[in-house]
Amino acid sequence: MKLSVVIPCYNEARNIPLILDRFGEVVGDKEVESKDIEVVLVDNGSTDDTPEVLRDLLAGYPFARTVRVDVNQGYGFGILSGLQEANGEFLGWTHADMQTDPKDTIKALRLIESAPEPQRSFVKGNRKGRPVSDVFFTLGMGLFESLYLGVNLRDINAQPNLFHRSFFESWEDPPHDFSLDLYAFVLARKRGLDVIRFPVRFPKRIHGHSKWNVDWRSKWKFILRTLKYSAGLKRRLKG
């Protein structure tokens, strides 16, 4: 199997049908053979109708399956749970909120397959069409982390992320929260992987709301958590 795409779903019952339909379109128009892709929908401890929706719909989408996390332990934990169960040569993740088109994962696959050294490549989206306030916040965080950690880290939380299985298998104690995006990006830079960026459209959510990007108070909490993790990561990288 070429590609496993992990999608952490925490209370995303209304978005799951849209995700499956969109991936069905991608597979149906022969962008990628169905045997070459699996979509791993991680029920990340959801308390809404996510388990029932997955149970009812998955039989109609043979390229998709689910992994259940009984108790939510963080965004990163859900992704890691899916990656551990994935079968693909290339692994990746994206969000369940439909702000990143599932077809972008196929674009990422084409980019990494055409890279001179696919096993030493890391493909990451570069978000377009976001609100000015969010762009300003992202630029600030990216600039700080780049200076602090000594690598170029623009648009850290952009989706999708895609890489060879061997890169994932080398990870040591990855974080279980939103810092997983930072961890993977920093590790790719520090190890000299060829980081390939490509533009992705980033519209408003169709259903639900962000689990952290609610207001400036939530952004501040996110900043504090990220800074704390960055300090520990910097010490580990020096060790």
Which residue has better confidence, 171 or 211?
171
DSSP string, 24-62: HHHHHTTSS-GGGEEEEEEEES--SSHHHHHHHHGGG-T
pLDDT tops 80 at residue 105: yes
pLDDT of residue 26: 85
pLDDT tops 70 at residue 152: yes
DSSP string, 92-132: EE--SSSSS-THHHHHHHHHHHTSS-GGGEEEEEEEES--H
pLDDT of residue 215: 63
Confidence band, pLDDT 50/70/90 cuts, at residue 100: confident
202's tokens: 């980033």
Q: Which helix (H) or strand (E) holds 149?
A: helix 132-149
Residue range 155-196, pLDDT digits in tens: 999 999 999 999 999 999 999 999 999 999 999 999 999 999
| Residues 221-226, mean pLDDT to the nearest whole number | 86
pLDDT tops 60 at residue 112: yes
Q: From CA 204, how far away is CA 194, in angstroms rounded?
A: 30
Q: From CA 174, how far away is CA 180, in angstroms rounded?
A: 7
Q: From CA 46, how far away is CA 48, in angstroms rounded?
A: 6
pLDDT of residue 27: 82
| Residues 88-93, mean pLDDT to the nearest whole number | 98
Residue range 10-34, pLDDT digits in tens: 999 999 999 999 999 888 766 666 6
pLDDT of residue 237: 84
pLDDT tops 60 at residue 212: no
| Residues 186-209, mean pLDDT to the nearest whole number | 86
Instruction: Return the half-sphere exposure (C-beta side, CA atoms, 13 A cut-off) of residue 217.
Output: 0
Domain 3-238 in CATH: superfamily? Spore Coat Polysaccharide Biosynthesis Protein SpsA; Chain A (3.90.550.10)
Residue with tokens 């696919």: 118
Confidence band, pLDDT 50/70/90 cuts, at residue 214: low
